[in-house]
């Protein structure tokens, strides 16, 4: 496993527009990575680029077989091209927008449901996105669409979208959610939910046991 420092960027406070962060990601979006194991340090921004960079660096979660590697990248870039705009657009108009615009909600909901149908049909015949092997494609897609159908995003959006009907996505989501590394990963930089599940910053593997918010602030 790789050691790393995970710094909390509070986007509500505008941390992403500070000069230090902009030097890492000129687009002022999270996540961004700075690799200090090379000289000079190397910046990596956009989540898909980060996943691909780390997979190649550590030779993990990216198949060597050319066909499976291509299939992994097919789905990784499918996520990059669809989920942030379509899923994020749906979340904005359905849950966050101060004015509810029926056309916008319906338009984005229709596209999200189409994406979920694409996933469901694919996962009906595949354990993971690229076959039997868990890859960076699963890592990219799960936080968006897996979280959405299990009711972890945008209020009651899972009910509105009939998330329970996507049974193959639900099976895939549950298997990934049970992975120990995933359970740890979703704690990092988390500032909401149960305090025992919030690790605002991660700088050592022991932080998961000693520096969760319930231990740093027992009153939280």
pLDDT band with cut points at 50, 70 and 90 for residue 219: confident
Give the pLDDT mean for 190-203: 95
Mean pLDDT (the chain, rounded): 95
Query: What pLDDT is stored for residue 67 in this prediction?
Result: 98
Query: What pLDDT is stored for residue 203 in this prediction?
Result: 97
Segment 8-48, tens digit of pLDDT: 999 999 999 998 999 999 999 999 999 999 999 999 999 99
pLDDT band with cut points at 50, 70 and 90 for residue 218: confident
Q: What percent of the chain has pLDDT over 70?
A: 99
In the chain, the domains with their CATH numbers are 11-45 (no CATH), 66-183 (1.20.1050.10), 187-216 (no CATH)
Query: What pLDDT is stored for residue 31 in this prediction?
Result: 95
Which structure tokens are listed for 204? 């050592």
Do the beta carbons of residue 33 and residue 53 sit within 8 Å? Answer: yes
Query: What pLDDT is stored for residue 8 in this prediction?
Result: 96
Task: Kindly report the three-state secondary structure assignment for every residue of the chain.
Answer: CCCCCECCCCHHHCHHHCHHHHHHCCCCCCCEEEECCCCCCEEEECHHHHHHHHHHHHCCCCCCCHHHHHHHHHHHHHHHHHHHHHHHHHHHHHHHCCCCCHHHHHHHHHHHHHHHHHHHHHHCCCCECCECCCCHHHHHHHHHHHHHHCCCCCCCHHHHCCHHHCHHHHHHHHHHHCCHHHHHHCCECCCCCCHHHCECCECCCCHHHHCCHHHHCCCC
Query: What pLDDT is stored for residue 2 in this prediction?
Result: 84
Give strand pairing partners of 194: none
Q: Which residue has the tokens 């999270």?
A: 30
Does residue 177 have a pLDDT over 90? yes
Does residue 84 have a pLDDT over 90? no
Query: What pLDDT is stored for residue 20 in this prediction?
Result: 92
Give the pLDDT mean for 68-76: 98
Does residue 217 have a pLDDT over 90? no
Does residue 4 have a pLDDT over 90? yes
CA separation for the pair 70, 64 (Å, rounded): 10
pLDDT band with cut points at 50, 70 and 90 for residue 100: very high
Segment 114-135, tens digit of pLDDT: 999 999 999 999 999 999 999 9
């Amino acid at each position: 496993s790789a050691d790393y420092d995970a710094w909390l960027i509070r986007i509500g406070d505008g941390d992403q527009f500070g000069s230090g962060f902009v030097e890492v990601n000129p687009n002022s979006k999270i996540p961004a990575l700075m690799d200090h194991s090379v000289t000079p340090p190397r910046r990596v921004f956009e989540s898909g680029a980060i996943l691909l960079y780390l997979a190649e660096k550590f030779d993990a979660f990216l198949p060597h077989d050319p066909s499976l590697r291509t299939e992994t990248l097919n789905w990784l870039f499918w996520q990059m091209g669809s989920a942030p705009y379509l899923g994020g657009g749906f979340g904005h108009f359905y849950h966050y927008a101060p004015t509810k615009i029926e056309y916008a909600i319906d338009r984005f909901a229709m596209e999200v449901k189409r994406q979920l149908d694409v996933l469901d049909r694919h996962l009906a015949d595949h354990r993971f996105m690229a076959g039997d092997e868990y890859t960076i494609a699963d890592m990219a897609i799960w936080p968006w669409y897996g979280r959405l159908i299990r009711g972890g995003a945008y209020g009651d959006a899972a009910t509105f979208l009939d998330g329970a009907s996507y049974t193959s996505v639900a099976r895939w989501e549950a298997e990934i959610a049970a992975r120990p590394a995933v359970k740890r990963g979703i704690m990092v930089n988390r500032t909401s939910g149960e305090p025992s599940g919030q690790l605002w910053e991660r700088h050592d593997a022991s932080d998961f046991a000693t520096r969760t918010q319930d231990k740093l602030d027992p009153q939280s």
